[in-house]
Structure formats: structure tokens, C-alpha cells
Structure 1
């Protein structure tokens, strides 16, 4: 069911604000993104450091167990939980979406991907250590704002409120990044005849794909009306499908005679992409079995896009 309350209104307002800002040139957006990302990293690093230095947590939480209430097996539940992790890690490859606008993509793009993945993985693991150090697993069950709960137990309600506010502000870095990169995909598709031509229009002064930016902002604002758990599962299953397609394409591209390879990664092929595809397949299958509504909604979205491409764009795409 859809919801419309203060949280949804605030979320839509933030999306609209950054959507409008992204229309006024990539240089301004990049400067803002650097500030927001720096703030986010500083807040997360301070939160992790102060939490680990605090004496109010308990390392024995790592040896305790929560009572399982799910009827699914542990293996199945772990696979479904990977959908949430997929969403948490989403954006690590976002630099590829704006590769055409980078000054020296051959040098900066691999660096951005490697550094971004490493930083996200380190922060993800460190934050989960802090959460378990602060809160027993049994107390954490069913809680969505885990960071607020952990901060409250570690520092008290007063300081926790300040950290929660800073963490909330830091999320704007992710919002702005996603608003920036998404329209570049629609623009590239439209320019190649694989999407509606209006998405390829670029503002003559700001050199930004304004129609694509505004359309994405409107759809994102509508999605805020969806309950958060269902929205994460819906997005997670969609991300899993498309990331699996991207990884599967490596097998085809590597057979091309002039395909440029990173020889340092030859040892990981085909084991790494094969393992990823196997896990993505398991996530998809178990998703349809145990989360049918979210997974079916994602499948319908993908199917509509595939049919639209086949009927309307297949003959114009190049």
C-alpha cells in the first residue's frame, strides 16, 4: 500500500531539489558532490571511531545468537538478505555511467571503481561491527534505523540525535549521485535509438539532459510513496537482474578479437563472474519463492521494458 506522510513529503522534496540542481551543469553538481561525499565519509569515520572507543558497547554480542522466527532455512534467508546488501553496495560502479564526460577515463575510471568498491566494503563491514558491538542481535531484529539505535545505546539519546541528523544529511550524497548518473544512461540509450528521443535532448547552455533528469526525478518522487522494505526488495531484485546481465556480457565481449583486457584480472576469469552469476540466479529464484510480490513487480518492470524495446526501439537502436 502507498503511504503519504511527513517522511514521504520530505523525501520527495529532497529529490526535487537535487533534480533541479542537476539541470544546471555537471561542474556545479561535481563540486556539490565532492562536498557531500567528503561530509559523508567524515561523519561515518567519526561515528565508527568514537563507537569503537566507547566503553558502552559489549564485544560479547558477537558470540550471542538471536532467536530465528523465520520459517525459511538459514541458507534461503541468507540469499534473500543479499538483496539488501546489493542495494547497500549499489553505486560502486556509478562512475561508468559518466565515463564519456570524464577527462581521462582510461586512467580515472579503473581507479574510481577500485577505490569506490574498497571504501564501500570497508565502511560496510566497519559499520556492521559497530552495530553488533552496540546492540545485541535479538534487539536489532526488525529495526530499520539500526544506526540510530546503535548511536543511542553507545552515546545516549542526546548525542545520538546529533549523529542521526548528520547521518541523514550524509545520505544526500547518495541521492545526488544517483540523480546525476541515471539520466546519463537514458541519454546514451536515446542517442543510440534505444530509448525515447526526448531523453537525448541536451540544454544548449548547461549541456545537461534536462528531460531525462526531470523524468527520473518525477518517478523517484513517486517511488517514495512505497513502504521502505518493499521498495528495497523491488529495487534489489531489479539491480540483481541487470547486474547479472552486465556480468554475463563479459563472457561475450572477451571473445571479440580487439577487446581490451585487464590482464591482471585474467586469473579471476571465469571463476569470479561465474560465481556472481550463480549467486544472482539463486537470489532471483528464492526471491520469486519467498518474496513473490516484490520480485514479480520487478519482473513485470523488466518485461515491460523488454517488450517496449522489441516493439518500438529494436529497429532504431544501433
Structure 2
């Protein structure tokens, strides 16, 4: 008989509001804001369009956070989107969401963050030692940067494997360092740095920002990658204290804080660098530091950013395995993934699986390809989840809703429409990323059929597992009601 994730009793509610908020911020503030503005500038060519793109991306993320806050307060269990889709649309969409989380939502961003961190840390010493190509495409690269990135993933995976308490402490420390770094760099850079104020003034002049162009939509793919993580607290719903209150506060508060930080940091980039110097640049933080404070500072800033990026790697290693754990406990993934480490109360095997996939991606994929692939595929999954919110409002109005989405139904419709626009333009402008994304979904459907032959679904599965004590103010033990 399959075991529901909510009934295992292995995960404990040990995460307070502060740690949940830090988790959301850490998941969001990572590789994206330090690396993608250069790609966006290459697409759009103007500082005004760059800032507008980050602002629109932040509003999209906020509409998503408002929607997920209602779902997270209603259903505070491990798994996030997987659990919500399981409740609203059934097993196959839920499994595909979990599959996307494994490949695209966490493993690929962990790889991208590790590559970026190693790139910042090593500066110019990134020439590959070994490259393997097949039919003109690179399939494996070994270099100082890839080996360092692998070491980061392995070390942080072992930290989170050890215990939730150790992982939480490391996570909080890394994130507070990163927040302090961004605020200090931004404030001091704008106040004392040697930049050009006129470039900042151009942002506010009336102009023809390409708001509805294909290039703007493609740029939002990069931005959506940078904002991905606004839903992080939902994945640990089974371990957050007072989830009916703390999950919405963490999701919404974290998204608002990060949007403000992103806009501030991009103004620093614009103040420091002309558009042509930003285009296609991966190490914008180092370049901006060189201009604002001199070349020595730029190198030190690169090391600081590399250390700060460890926070996002750690946060995703912490959040992602709860999805695969929930899937395994429901019998739709490898059963041994459901085991909880007795000493640390962590889904250890799930953590190791995710780390292994991230290592494979580090040695086999380019950074820019990872960004487009991630943004396109995650948009599909989050759109379907928000559609589930609307369905539950219509089909199950009696369900307790400790928090209701602000601006409903306009808020979910804006989120769905905006992401649909991104997906369509992704297919038109970057078809290869779309092919990779759709291929991931098809592969997931085939994998599901191998694991779950027709007719083996549990009766009543869609209704969801019995509630947990502590889900809405119980004793927090995560045990099953009598």
C-alpha cells in the first residue's frame, strides 16, 4: 500500500517565519541578477527597457506569489506544486510537475548557480582542459570552473543531508551575507562610485521601450529565471510552523523584498556601465565594481559574489528534495527516495539524487542554454498550478482558506496570461529551448507510464491524503489525525 507524504511523520515543523522568508529570498537572489542583465541588454539594447523588463518580471512573480500563498495556506504539505496539482488535476499533471521540479526547477538552476559562482571566483582562469563533442555539439566540458562548481554542489548537498538544523543555519548565514553584500554594493556604489548619472536619468525619459516585442518576451525568460524561487516556501509546507500564516507571509514578503533589491542593483549596473559594455556579459558585478571603485575592488567583488551565490545553491538543495520525497511517498517515484534519515530528519536520498543530476548538468550544458530552458519549462508548470487555484475556487468553495488571493480573479489571470505570452514567444524566438522543455515533459510522461501502469492508481487518490495535525494550528508533529 502506498504511503502518503503527509502520513510518513518523518518531516518535522521546525522552520519559523524568519527562516521561511530567508529561504524565499535565498532561492530568488542568486545567479540571475548577477548574470542575466547582460543577456537582456543584448536583446533590448537600452537601459530603460532593461529596468522595465525587471519590473514586469517582478510583478509577474508577485502575482504568482499571491496565488501560491492561498494554495500554501490551504494545503501546507511537502511538495509544493506537486501536491497542489495532485489535488486539483490528478496524478499525471502532478507527476509531471514533480518531474519538471527535479530536472528544471532545481537541478538545472543549481548547476547554473554553481557555474556562475565558479566563474566569478576564478575570474579569467576558465579555459577548458577537456571538451567532448558529438555531431558538432558540446556534450562534456572539464575545466577549473566545472570542477569547482561540482565541489560546491557536493559540499552543500552533504550539509543538507546531515540535518535540517545544520542546513538551516548554513542557509541563514549565507543569505544574510548575500543580502548585506547587495545592499552595501548598491548603496555605496551609487553614493561614492565613479559612474555616469546621465545613464540613470535616461531610464525615466519617455521612450519606445519594446514592451510587446519578441525580444522583450525572450528577455522575460531570463528574468523569470532570476525571479524563480518566489514559491520556495511552498515546497517546505510540511516543515513550516503555523503554515496558514507563515507560508503566505514568506512568499509575498520575500518576493516584494527581492523585486526592490533587483531594481536597485540594476540601477547600479546602469550607473557603472554603458549599454555596449553590458551586452552579453556574464560577470556584470565584477565589471561594475571595476568601474565604480577600481580594478582591485572588482576582483574582490567577484569573490564576494561567488560566496554569495552559495546561498542560492544551498536554498535549492534544501527545497527541491521535498518534492521528490512527496512523490516517492505517494508511490509515483523510486520508493527508496521516500526514506528519511533517522538522525537528521532529512530526505537524504532525495538530496543525493538531485546533487548527482546537477553535477551531470554542470559538465554537459552551457550557461545561456540552461537559462532559456529553465524559464520556458517552469512557466508551463506554474501556469497550470495557478489554473488549479481557479478550479478549486469553483469546485471546492467549502475548503478552508486562511488566506485568499488579493485581487482574485484578476491576479491569477494576469499571471497565466503573462506566462502564456512568454511561452509563445519562447517557441517562436528560441525554438531549441522550447524543444528541450517539451522534450522534458514528454520524457516525464513516458517515465510516469513505466512507474505507474494503467489501473494502478489508488482509489480516492485525487482527494489527497488525510490532513496533518499542525497543518492549520495543531500540534505541529506532522502525524495523522485519528
Cα 1:273/1:73, change in 2 over 3 Å: closer
Contact 1:25 1:207 in 2 (8 A): yes
Give, in angstroms, the shift of residue 63 of structure 1: 5.4
Give, in angstroms, the shift of residue 311 of structure 1: 4.7
Partner of 2:385: 246
Partner of 2:199: 61
1:7 to 145, 148, 154: 145
Contact 1:193 1:316 in 2 (8 A): no
Normalising by structure 2, we get a TM-score of 0.62
CA distance in 2, matches of 1:73, 1:111: 31
Normalising by structure 1, we get a TM-score of 0.92
CA distance in 2, matches of 1:259, 1:129: 44
Give, in angstroms, the shift of residue 193 of structure 1: 2.1
Contact 1:36 1:172 in 2 (8 A): yes
Q: Which has the higher contact order (CA 8 A, sep 6+)?
A: 2
1:160 to 288, 291, 298: 298
Partner of 1:211: 349
Gaps of 5+ in 1: 66-71
Contact 1:194 1:316 in 2 (8 A): no
Higher helix share: 1
CA distance in 2, matches of 1:257, 1:236: 32
2:366 to 227, 230, 237: 227
Contact 2:161 2:348 in 1 (8 A): yes
Contact 2:199 2:270 in 1 (8 A): yes
Q: Is 1:44 aligned to 2:159, yes or no?
A: no
Contact 1:64 1:137 in 2 (8 A): no
Give, in angstroms, the shift of residue 106 of structure 1: 1.8
CA distance in 2, matches of 1:183, 1:265: 27
**1:299-310, aligned counterparts within 5 Å?**
299-310=438-449
Over the residues paired in the alignment, what is the CA RMSD in angstroms? Answer: 1.9
Partner of 1:69: none
CA distance in 1, matches of 2:451, 2:316: 27
Q: Is 1:265 aligned to 2:405, yes or no?
A: yes
Contact 2:236 2:322 in 1 (8 A): yes
**1:45-194, aligned counterparts within 5 Å?**
45-62=183-200, 75-194=213-332
CA distance in 2, matches of 1:246, 1:155: 45
Contact 2:248 2:403 in 1 (8 A): no
CA distance in 2, matches of 1:55, 1:197: 55
1:254 aligned counterpart, secondary structure: helix
Give, in angstroms, the shift of residue 158 of structure 1: 0.4
Give, in angstroms, the shift of residue 258 of structure 1: 2.1
CA distance in 2, matches of 1:254, 1:134: 48
CA distance in 2, matches of 1:50, 1:15: 32
2:162 aligned counterpart, secondary structure: coil
Cα 1:214/1:103, change in 2 over 3 Å: same
Give, in angstroms, the shift of residue 312 of structure 1: 2.8
For this pair of structures, how many residues does the alignment match? 311
CA distance in 2, matches of 1:241, 1:102: 27
